[in-house]
Amino acid sequence: MGTCFCQAMPMSSRCWCFFTGLDCGTIFGGPTGIWIAERLALADRLSASELVLSGSAAARLCAWWGLGILSRIAGRYGARGR
């Protein structure tokens, strides 16, 4: 399938990728976990820590996915002006 786009980036960009995932997981972990648990009807089966952990993982995944798309768009259209 390929490697993570963060591994192919220079070190400074990988740092941004790490901190984006960390911030997004910390800030949006709780609300995302609650939203996912309610959508899947799992709210009564999961503890609070499991909700936050699963929400954090989902929020980070979405953030990294979004960064990957932005990276591809910037790589494709950013080089045209040169």
Domain boundaries, the chain: 26-73
pLDDT digit string, tens, across residues 40-65: 999 899 999 999 999 999 998 888 88
* Long-range contacts of the stretch 52-61 (C-beta < 8 A, 24+): 53/29, 55/28, 55/29, 55/30, 55/31, 56/25, 56/26, 56/28, 56/29, 56/32, 57/25, 58/32, 58/33, 59/24, 59/25, 59/27, 59/28, 59/29, 59/32, 60/21, 60/22, 60/24, 60/25
**Residue 79 pLDDT > 80, yes or no?**
no
Entry pTM: 0.69
